[in-house]
Amino acid sequence: MEYQEAKQKFISTWGSLGTLWGINKAMAQIQALLFISTKPLTTEEIMEELQISRGNTSMNVRQLIDWGIVTKELRAGERKEYYSTEKDVQELARIIAKERSRREIKPVIKTLQDISSIKEDGTPETKELIKQTKALHNLAETTDSLLTKVANQKQNWISSTLLKLVK
């Protein structure tokens, strides 16, 4: 396999995997392109490489910046903005884990807390709803707590965590 084919395959595969960590395909493809790039890229370079519109590129780059995965660079004397991404795979995973917790798990915990705190009216249905939502709430809190602990580990957190689980 030649470089260009391997590059396209990586970007395409990463784009498909992006939905697993909560972002759309174009967003993941932009991040993948920046990840394997040897230099920061402009909006125009991203558009050309991925064959996507300026609006699609701008919107997705902005979201990647909001996630904390992509940074914008300004160069003296130039009007263009350049974008780069975190190159450390473990740091990237840590950032994604923290952001997914903030965006997805914490709102679910809040909703389950609200639901499981409803007024008990004595009916079997209400008791069952409270019981099950409390169980889900406890599971979600435990999961979030584990994810937070893992995400707050700085260096080699994935490998050290996996080693601890295996032992």
From the CA atom positions of the chain, what is the Rg in Å?
21
Pair 68, 99: CB distance under 8 Å: yes
* Position with higher pLDDT, 129 vs 92: 129
What is the structure's pLDDT at 143?
85
pLDDT average, residue stretch 21-47: 92
- pTM, two decimals, is 0.74
- CATH entry 3.40.50.300 includes domain 3-85: no
Pair 14, 27: CB distance under 8 Å: no
What is the structure's pLDDT at 75?
86
Q: Spell out the domain ranges in the chain.
A: 3-85, 89-166
Q: Which pLDDT band, with edges at 50, 70 and 90, does 156 fall under?
A: low
- Sign of the Cα pseudo-torsion (137, 113, 146, 29, in order): positive
CA atoms within 13 A on the CB side of 25: 6
pLDDT tens string 106-153: 999 999 999 988 888 989 999 999 999 999 999 999 988 887 777 777
